[in-house]
Chains A and B, each alone.
Chain A
């Protein structure tokens, strides 16, 4: 089955620093990847949709300058949280959409970000 990996699985950073999270589709090509944020005991909140080779589309209320998304290849998308603050602490999940129909979204295992 289709596998999506995320790295790192857990990261702690100091307030004011930036942190990058990678999302890779391991055995399929994904023209579209998605980044979600999940707070404890809540649902997934879509942050942005990234298409390979083009700028990401951000959901309303998501700061594009704070959450930088790059989708440079068909198997890799990155989310960079810039100038992180404690309120950015959360669980970040990526998903990748398979090209073959019906187009499925496969989810990564998530990254826990703690900003101290």
Chain B
């Protein structure tokens, strides 16, 4: 079974600085999707970024970018110019291309220091 591991339960960063959240996963599949979701205090899950495994180019969404290392099964999230509104739980998630279910990591709580 696929597993997703987030080894950083908590991270903090100064406002306007850059922070990287780590995620590793285990799968024997070659085609899959990886996601980062944000869960702010409201607890509404928000999709931050998506990466298709067949794409070598790392996905970017404004201040958010990923470092996708397929061979290493690593999928880190970089947040540039951190803002107070970025404070939230961040979950890394995996889904087989042909599957419906998401597999979530344990989450990383990100604190932004003003």
Contact = CB atoms under 8 A, between A and B. Distances in A.
Contacts, number: 41
Contacts of B100: 32, 34, 49, 97
B43 A43 contact: no
A110 B44 CA distance: 7
Interface in A66-116: 91, 93, 95, 97, 102, 104-107, 109-110
Contacts of A110: 43-44
A46 interface: yes
A109 B104 contact: no
A102 B47 CA distance: 13
Interface bin, chain A: 20 to 34
Interface of A is mostly: strand
B104 A43 contact: yes
A53 B83 CA distance: 44
A109 B43 contact: yes
Interface of B: 33, 37, 42-47, 50, 52, 91, 100-102, 104-107, 109
Interface of A: 32, 34, 38, 41-44, 46, 49, 91, 93, 95, 97, 102, 104-107, 109-110
11 contacts: A32-B100, A34-B102, A43-B104, A93-B43, A93-B45, A97-B100, A104-B47, A104-B50, A106-B47, A109-B42, A110-B44
